[in-house]
Structure 1
Amino acid sequence: MAVLSAEWASTLVELPTLTFHHALLPLSIFSALHGIRVSMAYRQAIEAAAAQSLKDGSSPPKPTRVPWGQALLSVLAMSLGGGFSASILLGMPPSWLGSNVVVPTYALSFFLIQYTFVYDLIVQTIPPAVLDPLLIVADGSLRALTITKLGVDGSRMRFAADAGKGGMVQSEPWFAMLLLGMIAGSGGGMWADVLKLKSHQWTLSATPGWAKEATWDMKAALISAFFYAASTSPQFYGLMNRDTAGAALTSTGGLLETQDAKAMTMLLLCSLLLGKQADQSSGVFTGLVKSFTSKAEALSSASLKKSKKSRQEDEDESVELNKIDKEDDDSYSSLRQRRRKEDDDLVVEDDEEEEVKKGGRGRKKSVASKKKKEPSPSPVPSTSTPTRSTRLRRAPRQEL
């Protein structure tokens, strides 16, 4: 059953074989992009390890570069490790041994990224939103072709049994197809984890990470291998199409044509890898949003605490001012009472002075009448002099 047209399927399958120039530079464009991706990831891992050693204070600190031979072997193992492992398990020589351009293409990409300005130029000029999908599509396309041609079809060819009686399709090696398809699509990352290739010193890992939990590359490769094997398996097609008696129909083909199945597998694997990259990017964006939100919450809480503190200070200050005002009012009222008492005292003194004045005038009149009635030979000075209060009047109270 054809899903895509034969021309579209053939064009999509033959796309990874494009070269820069068939005569002057017969290097695969997709292989160069794949080598650039692996070399960039390796360089970033080595620089991160060196920065971590400097942060930890290890003596001497790890350098940002490793010997070129070690670095080149690490990049080649991660780039070609999947096909190499599947070929060894099938007892066949790796296909890149018979090619004159595969290893030189990856080596050239490695030297351009490690020892020239190409790495800085790529990082500074091409945004990650464009660079990452481009490299992932090239990587996924090459992996899909390795899974289909070597992992699944290679297992069928290697373990094919002789045709049985009646033209019935014999059992296919499903275990080999799925296992070798997964290894062909993710073997490079598995070797990098086993030998710790992304470090300054190669060491054999006691327990690889993929043994504890399968990586996303392994899962994507396994799903792609199952899709291609199921869509091109005559046995699976026979199980899906039974007659009324329940017997499997004889068939020499599968659900999809071979070219269609390869093209669909390429699209499937690229979609899975791009989905993982988008999930990681959204995780980074979510982390940035969470960090920004936490900082904003910290700032808002700090401002809230500051406003509460200032409000408390204002309340304390208002209490102090009210207290001072109350004290002032008390002192003012006591001062008023004192002034009122002083005024009352002044009024009493004035009354006493008036009485004293009146008494002195009465005495003077009685003495004068006595003098008229009884004249004396010599005037006797009066011993009672009018007394005047020598107490000074206070200044009039000023208004507070």
Structure 2
Amino acid sequence: MTEAVSALSGFAPAQQLAAEMPRLLGSQWTCGGHAAAVPIGVFSTLHALRTAYEVRKGVQMGGRQPLFQEVFAMLTFALGGGILTALLLGRAQPWLEDSVTVPLYAAIYLLMARAPGDVVYRGLRRLSPVSDVFLASACGLMRGYGVTAAGVDLVRKTMKGQPVADSLVAWIVIGTVLGSGGGILDDVVQFSRRSWTLRTPTMLRGAPLDVKVSFLATVGYIFTTHAWSFAEHAPGFPLAPLLDRALALVPHLTEQEAQLLAGLFCSAVLGTAAQVDAARYAAAERAAAARALAKKTDESVSDGESESVSGGESDSEDDVDSE
């Protein structure tokens, strides 16, 4: 069987970028040209910074919580996809398999919430919406590669030989959950609220953007790489030959090219959404500041009236005494 030709075979820059991107996403901070003593990824740091920033924005508007509770909420958002994926596949929790992830994310939230002068959070707010869009776009790029290489390929390659490795449902579910698990957990258990409570997930009434983006990136990766065919994985499925002919019409991409497109798709959508959300948050901040100012003014007026009444009563008493 001849190997299918990639639809991007004539675009050398795109192929070079696709080949280089995994190395870029895995790059680590260096000091003086030498690798850092602690292996900390650049994009992992950006992801932690963006998650901490979004959690801080939420509690800033909804009411601050105890520090440990805020850190726990941040870790849930940041690591929720990996947590749910490991539970579904019966694997060890990925955040337990290294000594860097949890300390890194917790430390960045401490900087976001307790830095002297609140310099980190105030700096990002001053740079908004540029900061919002940049962090969301970087995390979107990381998410695109996560749902494909760490999601779909985790099932079909790493777990090859097990029944789940040949399940299209497993590929799609794991890819989608890996990209949006933190939001799913918060939707069900309300980790970001002061009081946690189980509730019917709102995503059952309408999937949030994170879920939609992760789902589309996962499905796009599966079908553009032609990783699935009914003849190979489900030959007894009704209309399998017809469905395979329909899938053959999808333009073919190599795995690296499909991962690049998935990353660019997630980055573009989440970056655009971040710009819209930044405008809404800024408007909410201004409204909250206006309410606080109005309340302070009302209290000042009230205090002034009280003092005036008190002074009037004192003058009346003085007049009576003089008479």
Relative to the length of structure 2, the TM-score reads 0.69
The CA deviation at 1:151 is 2.2
Question: Structure 1 residues 7, 236: CA separation in 2 closer, same or farther (over 3 Å shift)?
Answer: same
| Counterpart position of 1:179 | 173
Alignment pair present for 1:123 and 2:116 = no
Residues 285-300 of structure 1 correspond to what in structure 2 (within 5 A)?
Answer: none
Q: Paired residue for 2:18, among 1, 4, 9?
A: 9
Aligned-pair CA distance for 1:215: 0.4
- Contact 1:87/1:150 (8 A) holds in 2: no
CA–CA distance in 2 between the matches of 1:285 and 1:122? 14
- One-letter amino acid of the structure 2 residue matched with residue 13 of structure 1: P
Please tell me whether the aligned partners of residues 133 and 272 of structure 2 are also in contact (alpha carbons under 8 angstroms). no
User: Per the alignment, in what secondary structure is the counterpart of residue 39 of structure 2?
Assistant: strand
Query: What is the aligned partner in structure 1 of residue 108 from structure 2?
Result: 109
- Displacement of 1:190 in angstroms is 0.7
- C-alpha distance in 1 between matches for 2:129 and 2:279: 12
Which consecutive residues of structure 2, in runs of 5 or more, have no partner in the other structure? 1-5, 233-240, 285-323
Q: How many residues align?
A: 255
Letter in 2 for 1:256: L
TM-superposed CA distance for 1:47, in Å, is: 2.5
Question: Within the alignment, does 1:156 sit opposite 2:156 as a pair?
Answer: yes
Q: Deviations over 1:239-276 (max 9, x none)?
A: 9xxxxx98979x9xx92111111111101111121233
Match of 1:138 in 2: 138
Q: Is the counterpart of residue 275 in structure 1 residue 272 in structure 2? A: yes
Q: What amino acid sits opposite 2:24 in the alignment?
A: L
Report SS of the residue matched to 1:27: coil
From the superposition, tell whether residues 199 and 24 of structure 1 become closer, same or farther in structure 2 (CA, over 3 Å): same
Contact preservation (8 Å) 2:46, 2:139: yes
Q: Which has the higher contact order (CA 8 A, sep 6+)?
A: 2
| Paired residues of 1:28 and 1:105 also in contact (CA < 8 A) | no
Instruction: Work out the CA distance in 1 between the residues paired with 2:109 and 2:43.
Output: 14
SS in 2 for 1:223: helix
Corresponding residue for residue 44 of structure 2: 31
Deviation at residue 110 of structure 1 after TM alignment: 0.8
Query: Shift in Å at residue 214 of structure 1?
Result: 0.6
CA contact (8 A) 2:113 2:121 kept: no
Cα distance change, pair 157–88 in 1 and its aligned pair in 2 (3 A): farther
Find the partner of 1:214 among 203, 207, 210. Answer: 207
Conserved? CA contact 1:230–1:236, under 8 Å? no
| Aligned-pair Cα RMSD in Å | 3.3
**Identical-residue share of aligned pairs (%):** 25
In structure 2, C-alpha distance between the alignment counterparts of 1:209 and 1:30, rounded to whole Å: 30
Correspondence 1:189 to 2:166: no
State the shift of 1:78 in Å: 0.6
| Deviations, residues 289-345 of structure 1 (Å, cap 9, x unaligned) | xxxxxxxxxxxxxxxxxxxxxxxxxxxxxxxxxxxxxxxxxxxxxxxxxxxxxxxxx
Relative to structure 1, the CA distance from residue 238 to residue 282 in structure 2 (aligned partners, 3 Å threshold; closer, same or farther) is farther
Distance in 2 (alpha carbons) for counterparts of 1:106 and 1:284? 24
User: 1:174-199 CA deviation, whole Å, 9 max, x = no partner?
Assistant: 21111111111100011111111111
Are the counterparts in 2 of residues 151 and 184 from structure 1 also a CA contact under 8 Å?
yes
**TM-score, length-normalised on structure 1?**
0.57
Select the structure of larger CA radius of gyration: 1
Distance 1:74 1:234 in 2: 36
Following the alignment from structure 1 to structure 2, what is the Cα–Cα distance between the partners of residues 247 and 70? 49
Paired letter, 1:33: L
Relative to structure 1, is the Cα distance of residues 118 and 32 closer, same or farther in structure 2, using a 3 angstrom cutoff?
A: farther
Structure 2 CA distance for partners of 1:124 and 1:154, relative to 1, 3 Å = closer
